[in-house]
Amino acid sequence: MFRLITGRPGPSGFGSASTAEQVTNGIDGSNLTAIVTGGASGIGLETARVLAMRNVHVVIAARNMEAADEAKQRILKDNNAARVDIEKLDLSSIRSVKAFADNFKALNLPLNILINNAGIMFCPFQLSGDGIEMQFATNHLGHFYLTNLLLDKMKETAKASGIQGRIVNLSSVAHLCPYKEGIRFHKINNKRSYQDKLAYGQSKLANILHANELSRRLQEEEANINVNSVHPGLIMTNLMRHSALLMRILRAFTCFLWKNVPQGAATTCYVALHPRLKGVTGKYFHDCNEYKPSKLARDEALARNLWDFSNNLVNATLKT
């Protein structure tokens, strides 16, 4: 808590006050290609901008293509040498995820980095077009399926280039506050007992469990890809549109805990690009330093169950 409030650097040399530009200073990503989901606004846009600044070829995946194009033009205005593409992706739709993956593969680009950044937060109960609770569908299931669809491309890229691939799942400290059982496998779509904040915590717990289980599987295959999860910090962005008043009140009393957008994108960029993270996998990062997540987030059996549940849910959706 002391480091969070003061911005004092941790073992990595960076801390809560570090910005995305600072943690990537001197890194050349000219031989890298990255996908950033939700890269049209907030910390996703800042992540895309800084990766492009470091010469990474960035593909912004976004639901709103007008906003994505505005984001691209904003990046190019500051850096006319930036390599930025945009592709449509609605993570709440399994078929949209499949279409995005197909479109990306058609570009014949390598894929070194996948940043699963997009998400929604504290929304009222609603089902996705596929009939799945929206926070779980968008924050976890869409990214789970997207990652699986792009894994072979990442493995091919890592093998051909000799450069370790990196997958970054954006989680949250909210993973500490899911439903009591962690993941409510048999009540995912239960409207009657739905609680928006616990459902958000459940989806963020799922992001860590997904990263940990994927990391374990890739290590077994000896694939040259690392997978980690991050908490970006408390940042006032459009993610909080469903609880803006509550967040403003909370921020008034906890102003010392909040970050600006450049600081909020720092941990993502650090884990995605910094050479110090080579070979580091299955970990959880906060303020650019490794932290131990909750007991539920470290539950290997829960992670395996979530993997199987997610696979079954995707397959069932594709059959309808």
Beta carbons within 8 Å of 136's beta carbon, 6+ residues apart: 188, 199, 202, 203, 206
Beta carbons within 8 Å of 200's beta carbon, 6+ residues apart: 121, 122, 135, 139, 172, 174
C-alpha closest to that of 228 among 269, 183, 263 = 269
- Here the tokens at position 189 are 């779509």
SS3 category, 51: helix
Positive or negative torsion for Cα 269, 223, 314, 104: positive
Residue 17, φ and ψ in degrees, nearest 5:
-90, -10
CA–CA distance, 66 with 247 (Å, rounded to integer): 27
Contact, 58 vs 107, CB < 8 A? no
Q: Contacts from 178-184 at CB under 8 Å and sequence distance 24+? A: 178/202, 178/204, 178/205, 178/296, 182/296, 182/299, 182/302, 183/209, 183/302, 183/305, 183/306, 183/309
270 is catalytic: no
C-alpha closest to that of 227 among 151, 307, 295, 145 = 151
- Here the tokens at position 246 are 């509550």
Contact, 106 vs 75, CB < 8 A? no
Q: Which one from 194, 200, 270, 284 is the annotated catalytic residue?
A: 194
Q: Active-site residue numbers? A: 194
